[in-house]
Amino acid sequence: MNVTGCQHKFAVSKSQKFIEFFAEFHICNVGDRGTRVNDIGLSFRVGEKEYQMKKSGYWNGTGESKWIDAHDNADIDANFYAEYESDEKDQLDCVFTIYHTHKPYRVNAFSKKVDSLKNEPHVGFF
């Protein structure tokens, strides 16, 4: 798995501060059996505060998992958001974990701060 892009921005709603992410992944199933991507997790740390987010089925908005046949590839994108209590950073070191049929797979990446995400999420309160 590769993280082909990751960006974040900050937003304020009703005096609460949020961080939003948009990430793109290229997943290669090199195994001899198909696999099902059930969840993708994102974690990062700012100072002493650790943030963890986990989503499932966000790539198609239905909550369903993503099937990838043996020796096949898939491009998946995902939005994450959470309340944010730390200083705004222009770059964040992130760890993504893909939870699929066989075992979790972790990959390190970094996120760059932007004014507008490539694919704005439909959170409902922004």
Whether 23 is covered by a domain: the verdict is yes
In a domain, 46, yes or no: yes
**Given this model, what pLDDT does residue 62 score?**
62
- Over its C-alpha atoms, the chain yields an Rg (Å, rounded) of 15
User: In the prediction, which pLDDT does 124 show?
Assistant: 46
DSSP H helical ranges for the chain: none
What's the pLDDT at 47?
A: 93
Q: According to the model, what pLDDT value does residue 56 have?
A: 63
How far apart are alpha carbons 55 and 63 in whole angstroms?
Answer: 9
CATH number at residue 43: 2.60.40.10
Contact 121, 59 (CB under 8 A): no
Per-residue confidence (pLDDT) for residue 59, from 0 to 100: 55
Q: Write out residues in the chain with pLDDT < 50, as ranges.
A: 124-126
In a domain, 119, yes or no: no
In a domain? residue 63:
yes
Predicted model pTM: 0.86
**Does any domain span residue 31?**
yes
Partnered with residue 11 across adjacent β-strands are 18
In total, how many domains does the chain have? Answer: 1
- Closest by CA to 111, choosing from 21, 32, 47, 15, is 21
Sign of CA dihedral 109, 115, 120, 122: positive
For residue 37, the enclosing domain spans: 2-113
Hey, what amino acid is at 52? Answer: Q
Please give the pLDDT value at position 78.
Answer: 86
